[in-house]
Chains A and B, each alone.
Chain A
């Protein structure tokens, strides 16, 4: 994790809140007007703007995959006590998948890719199975809902297919992590994520970025992600 030498942590946290709040507003405005919003001059050495159109959506996915990959890398590097062999295998597989997703998106974006994000897992107790798996559940369900919500925003069919190849693997992760937390129950596709029409959650980028915000130090803005719909 990168150490911030430009601002004090306090200042940084404060400005991050401001920018994310503002970015959320911009997305809400984009939802209403469906247009591209101007950059109001907010910029920072530590900020990452997702960009617009399909690139913006791919960067958005890339940001989430970075977050997941960093999380599972840490989980495997500092495993919680009494991590069973089968759980270690599962979490190692998931780490490898998230790294592959991250690298795939990075490669697809080329020089349009946002920089590596600085993450903050200070709220996760990596010594605790429950803390680790609960965080994993949050990330996986969030990832599924993010891809489900973003599909309609992609213009290019190849990108939609690429997102589809990833999202069902995220859903497999989500079901597995949920089953580790509540074995043998219906939690793998519980009523908290699947509604009465049998549909999984779909979230607009603004809602996803808000949920991911506590784990990302780098300012992630979506200044020009047009056509949003919450």
Chain B
């Protein structure tokens, strides 16, 4: 803000000043949004890293992206821990490192889009209170959880797509993550000797259903 502006604003009622400044901010946010609408996803990311972008997003979209980010945080931490603790046999390491890399990329992408509005990583308990005690020493258990997280991710993104229709670029990016999660789910299922699918259609899960399924893995 220029010195002149400060002077003029300084003579005005403080409430009005704050309202004027807010309006200016949202005007800026709106122009960034318009830019975003014309830009491809990587360009949005660049614009999105500015806090103004997230501030310009409707609450519904911010909430939905934060919900997605939370799931990605869980997946990211799960694969990083598993790979570090050596639970993944050599022959499958390339695949799980690849999946883990994608989850880290999703975290970075969503955090970037949200800017300062991004939630913090949750504290995870991958043993689910002792139910999966050997998750990082027994590959079968690790695989079970990996499948749970991937299939849950697919169902979660699918269930949330309708909340993102207000922003075509963000909806497209979410769909692009959704199908990557489905590729992961297929591969993990196959490694576990299962079919890559359960039928011709994948069903969505609501936010409540997803949170209920994820809850055992989150520390209170």
Name A's B-contacting residues (CB within 8 A).
90, 93, 96-97, 100-101, 104, 144, 147-149, 151-152, 157, 160-161, 164-176, 179, 184-186, 188-189, 194-202, 229
Task: Check B197–A200 contact: CB distance below 8 A.
Answer: no
Jot down 21 A-B pairs with beta carbons below 8 A, ordered by A.
A97-B197, A97-B199, A104-B200, A164-B158, A166-B200, A168-B202, A172-B183, A172-B186, A173-B186, A179-B186, A179-B190, A185-B94, A189-B98, A195-B42, A196-B105, A197-B42, A197-B105, A197-B106, A197-B108, A199-B177, A200-B183
82-106 of chain B: CB within 8 A of chain A: 91-92, 94-95, 98-99, 101-106
Going nearest first, the 7 A-B pairs with the smallest beta carbon separation are: A198-B105, A171-B182, A199-B176, A168-B182, A100-B200, A152-B168, A175-B186
Task: Check B176–A184 contact: CB distance below 8 A.
Answer: no
Residues in A with CB closer than 8 Å to B180 are: 171, 189, 194, 198-200
Name B's A-contacting residues (CB within 8 A).
41-42, 45, 91-92, 94-95, 98-99, 101-106, 108-109, 154, 157-158, 161-162, 165, 168-169, 171-173, 175-187, 190, 195-197, 199-204
Residues in A with CB closer than 8 Å to B101 are: 198
Residues in B with CB closer than 8 Å to A189 are: 98-99, 102, 180, 183-184, 187
With A157-B162, A164-B204, A186-B94 already in contact, the answer to whether A169 and B197 are too (CB < 8 A) is yes
With A151-B161, A152-B171, A188-B183 already in contact, the answer to whether A175 and B196 are too (CB < 8 A) is yes
Give the dominant DSSP class at A's interface. Answer: helix
Contact among A171, A195, A229 with B186 in the assembled complex (CB-CB below 8 Å): A171
Residues in A with CB closer than 8 Å to B187 are: 175, 179, 188-189
Q: Report which residue of B42, B95, B158, B187 has the largest number of chain A beta carbons within 10 angstroms of its beta carbon.
A: B187
Residues in B with CB closer than 8 Å to A172 are: 182-183, 185-186, 196-197, 202
Residues in B with CB closer than 8 Å to A199 are: 41, 109, 173, 176-177, 180
Residues in A with CB closer than 8 Å to B184 are: 175, 189
